[in-house]
Structure 1
Amino acid sequence: MAQYQCKSCGEIEVSELAAPEACTHCGESGLIDLEAQTAEIAKANDAFRAAIILGGHPELLGQVVCTQGVAAEGLGFMARAQIEVAGFSSFTEENDPYGDHSFGALTISGKKIWWKLDIYDADYRFGAADPLDATQTRRVLTLLFPSEY
């Protein structure tokens, strides 16, 4: 069973066989395969994370930020955290319920740290209209302690 979302009205279609040719709600033909889109977002999120220790990704633009608590641990701690986040691959149903590789938890110097990745429009004001359009999308990776969430 697959889910498809209409680009026009946003309604979600469920199909057990082939992709619907048009939205049953509005009749438009632009449907997004949500499972395929999630897999592509996960690949882009992984590429963005992997590039943070190299100065950033050439096409997947964004920034890395941290909370005051993480910053207070010092530059060495933040550098280790970024290296670990860049190589993170321990995704499970528990820490990645949406399958888009936008969250992770790890331990740095005995302290549990979370990272989360949010996808915005090019102005960092709203969610991205098309999270796979690198020209109109910006990622923000936040390093934080669970107590700061």
Structure 2
Amino acid sequence: MFRTRSDKVSLVMGHVIVTRGIAELPAVFFTAIMEAVRRFDDFTEHNDPHGEHDFGALTVSGERIFWKIDYYKRGTEEGSPDPSNMVLTERVLTVMLAEEY
């Protein structure tokens, strides 16, 4: 589930993918990283120039982490023609170590 951009928190369904580097971390670090991604709200004009809130970079327990949300046409690997349309779009959150980028 993902947060929407409004001031009110509402959740939309999606998929979460973690890279091998994240998956191989000890459970306590994995949990801390996923919680930090969930709580991330440090969006600025510099790191989010289009106001889409679809990428973040943060440091957790000394590890630099990137996360990215992509919007796919449901049932395909193509980009969604209308990411705001929940019927047409599947959201995929990818969480990775920065060194895996």
TM-score category, normalised to shorter length: 0.7 to 0.9
What is the TM-score normalised by the length of structure 2?
0.83
Counterpart of 2:23 in structure 1 is 71
Contact kept, 8 Å, 1:61 with 1:137, in 2: the verdict is no
2:57 paired residue among 90, 96, 105: 105
TM superposition shift of 1:107: 1.1
1:43 aligns with 2:5: yes
Counterpart of 1:9 in structure 2 is none
Please identify runs of 4+ aligned residues in structure 1 that moved more than 2 A: none
Query: What is the count of residue pairs matched by the alignment?
Result: 97
TM superposition shift of 1:75: 2.5
What is the TM-score normalised by the length of structure 1?
0.58
Instruction: Find the aligned partners of 1:99 and 1:114 in 2 and give their Cα distance.
Output: 17
Greater per-residue strand proportion: 2
What's the Cα RMSD here? 2.1
Larger Rg: 1
Give CA deviations for 1:24-71 in whole Å, capped at 9, x if unaligned: xxxxxxxxxxxxxxxxxx617xx57xxxxxxxx4xx221111111111
Instruction: Find the aligned partners of 1:128 and 1:88 in 2 and give their Cα distance.
Output: 24
Counterpart of 1:82 in structure 2 is 34
Pairs within 5 Å for 1:134-145: 134-145=86-97
Instruction: Find the aligned partners of 2:90 and 2:80 in 1 and give their Cα distance.
Output: 8
Instruction: Find the aligned partners of 1:140 and 1:93 in 2 and give their Cα distance.
Output: 23
Structure 2 residue runs of 5 or longer lacking an equivalent are none
Instruction: Find the aligned partners of 2:29 and 2:43 in 1 and give their Cα distance.
Output: 23
Structure 1 residue runs of 5 or longer lacking an equivalent are 1-41, 49-56
Kindly indicate whether structure 1 or structure 2 has the higher relative contact order, using CA contacts under 8 Å at least 6 residues apart. 2
